Amino acid sequence: MARRRSACSRGLHPDWSLEDYEKWLRFAKHLAPGIHLHAYSPMEISHMCDVSGLPPRTVFERLREAGLDSTPGTAAEVLHDGVRERISPNKLPVARWVEIIEASHASGIRSTVTVMFGHIEEPWELAEHMRVVRELQERTGGFTEFVPLSFIPFHTLLGRTHGIEEISAEENLKHTAAFRLALGKTIPSLQASWVKMGLDAATESLRWGVNDLGGTLMEESISRMAGSHHGVKLEPGDLISAAHRAGRPAASARRCTRSAPVRASGRGMTSTRRARCCSRGSSRSRCSSSCSRTSTCRPPRRSSTTGFARRSAD
């Protein structure tokens, strides 16, 4: 069976215990043993900690045993408490979000990380977000990709109350390039959200620092309900054609993300390799023992002074 990634979220159910969240992971793995389960945001993990009385790392260790492979670093919005209090006061404070993601990486579960831009944030607040992300990555090396998400204002309260217009494709690409520069080589993959910016702009972003076009998706409701008009599903051929139009090779992104805990000493996950969709200069190589099939992979850069990702020159 081909290994595919399923991203799922169960929400903050008022009557569910930690065991209920574990049950859904086991059920999914029973139905499809080869599937990669990418599930449970920091908000959901914090809720599990609250209802179980357990610390984040213990919760992640239990979820991993139940079948969790990686976790989405969503609900990040902008990692500055002043912005968060204005746009999403019910979301986690920055310190709690960082604590949960750090616990995820320490337990051997890697994550993505996002930023939401194009609303009421100031440039310096986005710079603070990037500082938090980069320093966390330099400590743990646990982020697999950085995903910029442009704000869709049309059907949102924030958009209506602040008169926010959708960010232009040009500004979207400029932000994307700035994010790539800010990350340096700490996070090897920068993903474009074609749901947010459209496939044409996502294709162009491959010339602006992006090396990952994301997934085909099956159902997406958040952007659609906010008023996005770029669709909710693509076929693999659509993404392959987009990469080729940009003059880039296309490769399936098989995420080998369950491994030993990440440690700042440079040991742990340093052998894990992740294939890129549209990565430049791909080579045939073998993934880590957690995913033994041969695929078109591009291993991350390493150095003796950092963990999974090589620190870029300042």
Confirm whether 117 is domain-assigned.
yes
pLDDT for res 195: 85
Mapping DSSP onto H, E and C, the string for 249-307 reads CCCCCCECCECCCCCCCCCCHHHCCECCCCCCCCEEEECCCCCCCEEEECCCCCCCCCC
pLDDT for res 135: 97
Confirm whether 114 is domain-assigned.
yes
* Pair type for strands 283-286 and 294-297: antiparallel
Handedness of CA 117, 223, 206, 218 (dihedral sign): positive
Q: Is 294 exposed, middle or buried (CB count within 10 Å of its CB: 0-12, 13-18, 19+)? A: exposed
Query: What's the CA gap between 201 and 168, in Å, rounded?
Result: 10
pLDDT, tens only, 216-249: 765 555 554 544 455 567 888 999 999 999 999 9
Residue 290 has pLDDT above 60, yes or no: no
Confirm whether 220 is domain-assigned.
yes
pLDDT, tens only, 45-94: 999 999 999 999 999 999 999 999 999 999 899 999 999 999 989 999 99
Query: How many domains are there within the chain?
Result: 1
Mean pLDDT over each residue of the chain, to the nearest integer: 78
Q: Give buried/exposed letters for 150-188 (b at 16+ CB in 10 A, else e).
A: bbbbeebeebeeeebebbebeebbebbbbbbebbbebbb
Quick one: which of 308, 307, 289 has its CA closest to 299?
308
DSSP 8-state secondary structure symbol assigned to residue 208: T
Query: What's the CA gap between 123 and 210, in Å, rounded?
Result: 20
Confirm whether 150 is domain-assigned.
yes
Would you give the end-to-end CA distance of the chain in angstroms?
Answer: 44
pLDDT, tens only, 115-153: 999 998 999 999 999 999 999 999 999 999 999 998 876
pTM: 0.77
Confirm whether 38 is domain-assigned.
no
Confirm whether 58 is domain-assigned.
no
User: Is 245 in contact with 237 (CB distance < 8 Å)?
Assistant: no
pLDDT for res 6: 62
pLDDT, tens only, 188-226: 999 998 888 889 999 999 999 999 998 776 555 555 454
Strand partners for 212: 191
Confirm whether 237 is domain-assigned.
yes
Provide the residue range defining the domain that includes 148: 70-297
From start to end of the chain, where are the E strands?
Answer: 5-8, 36-39, 111-117, 143-150, 283-286, 294-297
Query: What's the CA gap between 231 and 218, in Å, rounded?
Result: 10
**Residue 313 — left, alpha, or beta (φ > 0 → left; ψ -120 to 50 → alpha)?**
beta
Quick one: which of 71, 70, 126 has its CA closest to 97?
71
Residue 153 corresponds to which amino acid? P
